[in-house]
Every structure is written in C-alpha cells, then in structure tokens.
Structure 1
Amino acid sequence: MKMNSSKMFFLGFMITGVMLCLCSNNWLFIWCGLELSLISFLPLIHSTQIISSESSMKYFLVQSVSSGMLILGLMMMLTLKLNYNLIIASSILIKMGVAPFHSWLLGVVEGLSMIPMMLMFTVSKIAPLMMLTFITLSLALIICLTMVTGAMLGLNQSSTRKIITYSSIFNMGLILMSIKNNFIWFYYLVIYSILVSMLVFLIFKMNMFYVNQMITMENLMSYKMGLWFILLSMGGMPPFVGFSIKLIVIEFSVIHQMTINLIIMILFSLLVMFFYLRLSYLSIMFFSMSNKWMTLNLSKMPMMFMMFNTLTLPIYLTTKIFY
C-alpha cells in the first residue's frame, strides 16, 4: 500500500476515531468513534489485488452487523432496561474477531497488504477492548474457546497470513483474561502489537506467504534470523520481551484464582509455540545452501528487531511496580 496523501488522510481519521472512543464518556460518542474508524479503514484495504475488494466487503458487512447490534444494545440500555450486557458484549466480540466469531477474520486477512494488516491486528483492537472494560459480564467461556481455537486451528495451516491470524486470536484470549486490569491488558497489547508488526513486516519483506516458501529463500538469511527471534518472543520464550507479557498474565491469573483459564493458557501456549517453531525450523534448520558464516552479515532492520527482543526484558522489572 503506497502511502499517498489520501491514504494518510484516512489513516489519520482512523486514529482519530480510536482516540474519540478512548476519550468519550458517552456510549453514543464511542459508537460514533467506531463508525469513523470503520469508514476510514475501508479505503486503506483497497489495493491492486482483486481479492482486496472481497476483503473490504466482508469487513464492511461484519462490522456493520456488529455496529447494528451495538446500537440495539444501547437502545435497550436507555429505554427497555433489559439485560443489554449480552448484546453489547457480543457485538464487541464480533468486532474483535475472537472465537466463535473469528471466521470472517480469515477471509479478510487474505486480501490485505502490509500496513492494513498491521492496523487490523493492532490499532483496531484498542477501542473494542476499552469497551469491554465497562461490561460486567463474565467472559471465562469465551476466553477458553478463543485460546483453544487459536491454538488448535493454527496447527494445520500452510499460509503464514492465517498462522498470524490464529496467533492473534490466541493472544486476544490472553488479553481478555486480564481485561479487568487496564494497565496489564494495555501493556500486553502494546508489546504484542510491536511484535506482530515486526513479524508482518518481515513476512512481506521476504515475500513468504506460505510455509514451504521459507525453505527455498536463501538470500535473506539475516531476515530469517530476525524472524526466528520474533517468533520465539511471541511464543513467550525467555529471555525475550514476549516472556514478560505472558508472565504478567500468569501472575494476574494466579492472584485472581482463574485456575481453569490458566491451565488452558499454559497447555495451549505449547501448541502455539509448536507452530511458531515449525516456521523457524523450516526457514533456518531444515535445509540451507548458504554458508553458515554468512548469517553474520546482518541487515540493519533485522538487527534492530533482534535487539528489541533481547534487550527490552528489563522493562518488565520496572513495570511490575505499577500494578
């Protein structure tokens, strides 16, 4: 996606819509911010690919249905005084794309270019998560279903786009576990957003959209090393920065006695780490025709990614004092 003036205009309005949601104390203004963010994101999806039209139409229809459910829940809140929490929570979960409302996300991701894909996994999650903090409904079943779905269905995928999507679904379950603590879920979202943005950047830079392509690409060994570090960090392997966000959620779950969710999180994190390691195994350790000492010729961008993943773990030691 070329960032011309029109794209920058719509990107600015999308961020404005998210900020409107965050700064509003009125449900109606929050809904207006969501609609502004939605209508600004649609032109960003459009590209020269034919499938991008299908992706934008799917995204528009799903988001329109969820917005209609949200305004219905708000009307019930103001007039009928019925149990509106379920309808509002369902509409927010549809917007986020968590299980069992995740099917639309897979169809949309296939037609996205790099920057819209980053925005979908990062910026577009902020407003719905903020809205969920106002909902008193228990999300324990949704959390378990989201983590199981993201881990199990990501195992048999050959498309790296879908692997990243199922990884995002799994991590949304972890964020929902800590949704009652604003600092923890926002800290998790920020670190995960940085990691998934670096992963999407490398996937597009290496032009590797399927798993078997990682074996044949031999001229980008430094990018493969950066990809390996990012995947280990997203899986929660110490001493990378991704370990800190997983550890915070585990501590939060222990303190609040969320035993079942914690057990499911630990068990299915192993499955997620398995398909992360499968990518790095195929790209680096399975078959390589380049000389191993050529891995020392690192490019600037992968080197920055590796330094971020290895040197920022002390951030966790300083953030523990805030919660």
Structure 2
Amino acid sequence: MAKEIRVPALGESVTEATIAKWFKQAGEPVKADEPLVELETDKVTVEVPAPASGKLASIDAAAGSTVNVGALLGSIEEGAAGTAPAKAADAPAKSVEALAKKVEAPGAKAEQPLSPAVRKLVEENKIDAGAVAGTGKDGRVTKGDVIAHLERPAAAAAPVEVKPLVIPATPPVAARAPARPADATREERVRMSRLRQTIARRLKDAQNTAAMLTTFNEVDMSATMALRNQYKEVFEKKHGVKLGFMSFFVKACIQALKEIPAVNAEIDGDDIVYKNFYHIGVAVGTEKGLVVPVLRDADHLSFAGIEKTIADFGKRARDGQLQIAEMQGGTFTISTGGV
C-alpha cells in the first residue's frame, strides 16, 4: 500500500516552499520518521520525515521546485525492502584488487563519520571530506576543520571551473558600480536562498520605511559578571547547561517592559494593543541566516529554563529543525547581547 508524502502546514501566512534537496532516491529503503526531503521557506528550513517504513516509490516534486502546502511530494510503498543504491561488483577478483589499491593508495585514510552539521557544510560547499584534515578525536573532521579548509588561499586549491548562474529577473534596483575587468573574472554569482532573500528584502523595507537610529549605552556589568562567575560551575552541574549572559538580559528586559508597558505594545489601526505577556525573541545565527525563535511567557521561566530553551533553539536552528510557529508572536526581541 502506498503512503503519500505531502507538504505539511508551514505556519500562518506561509503557503509555499522550495524543495532544497531530497535525502533519498526513488527505490531506496526508508525508515519511519527518517528525514526524506528538506523544504525551504521565507522564514525557516523544514525537514519532512517519512510517514512509514518501506521503499521510496516515487518522487513527484524535484529539488528546486516550488510547492504549495498540501502538495504531493512523493510516495512510500509500505513494507517494501527497497533496492540497494549500488550493485555488488560482478567480478570478485576485481573488487579485491580495487580494495587493495585503495588501501595502498598514499594519503588514503579510513572514512570517519561526520556530524549532521559537518555533513551539511561539506555538501553545501561540494568538497571532499577526505581531503579535510581532521583535528577531532581519532582524526574526526570537525566543523572548524571544514571552515579552515574553505578559507585556504585559492592558489593552494586545484582550479575549479565556475559556471555562472542564471538569476531570474527581479524588481529594478539601483545598479551597482561595474567591476574592473581584472576583478570581474574573479567574481562568482550565487543565487540567494529564500531565507536570505527575505532577510535582504526586509532590511531594505525597514531602511525605506523606518527612521534609522543607532545609539550606544554603556552598562556596568560588574555585579552580573561577578554573580555569574560565582555560580556558573554549580549551575552547570545542577542543570546540565551553562549559565550565560542571555538569561540575565532576558530577565532585565522583562523587568523593563513591566515598568514601561508601552514598549511591549503595538499599534493596530487607531488602537494601541498592550501585551500583558512577555514573549521574548532571541536571535540565533545559522549557516543560512539569522532566525529569531521566541521564548514564550519568559517571565514564568527560571534562569535554568531560559538557558535550556535557548540551547535547544540554537541546536535545532543549526540542524534546520525549528518550526515556523516557534518564530512567531514575539513581543520584544534581543538581537544581540553585545558580549
């Protein structure tokens, strides 16, 4: 019996998504709840899990296509074993010979397992993980190793042919200054993800419609720093999470919002709507851009509750597991702690 895979609800006002990639090919076996396809919206990246175990019978929407909520992505044939992605070699002797050559090849090393974050970085930059020198335990490749590999001077790497990407027409914008002929050949044009496009568009909208003001205020953090240093080790042992500065900032913001409720309000037509609750947005940086998950009813959370929730947000944001609903409804945002 075939089980359909459809685009899930993506949150209020989000009606479509772009298929970033499929993790499986048609005919391959899948397990229930195993990530099958990655969807990218204007706000977040979402992984759609397999609804059942079996064989991925069909892929009805290819990577790169735009799909609406509820659209058919593919189907799973329940109970089917699936076909192996690669056939065994026909000639055993050749297999043994190839294996021997692989073992004897200079510079060859055993393949190390990669963490999800490292694997994602390797795939996005299309690099050979075997060419990255690992500094982790037992020679394991870390995220820092991959970043260091990418930052090596271009002259040290083998020449790679860069094909220009065709960018669809966009609304007229001010033309940038033309690059010098000597520099033009060294440029590379890469299409922005939907998330990056949304960030850029909203920053430009804010610049065009809001009064831009930058102000700096110094605060004496001596007492806070002393308190944190005094209890951070005991705090981590007791709660299993580090005591950072963000929990202090959240508590301070809540106190300020209670004293000045107009800051925790919004204008709706001719009315001012005062929020009698405190949903604090905390900016989290990811490889694909900045996202702002929300600490709901933060005034009811303890220091440990705040730190645990922020740590969970950070991990799931980097793994693309945040839900749209978790980034909506904030009444106040802390974009950066400044430390």
User: Does the alignment reach a TM-score above 0.5?
Assistant: no
Which has the greater radius of gyration? 2
Relative to its length, the structure with more helix (as a share) is 1
Structure holding more strand per residue:
2
Per the normalisation by structure 1, the TM-score is: 0.22
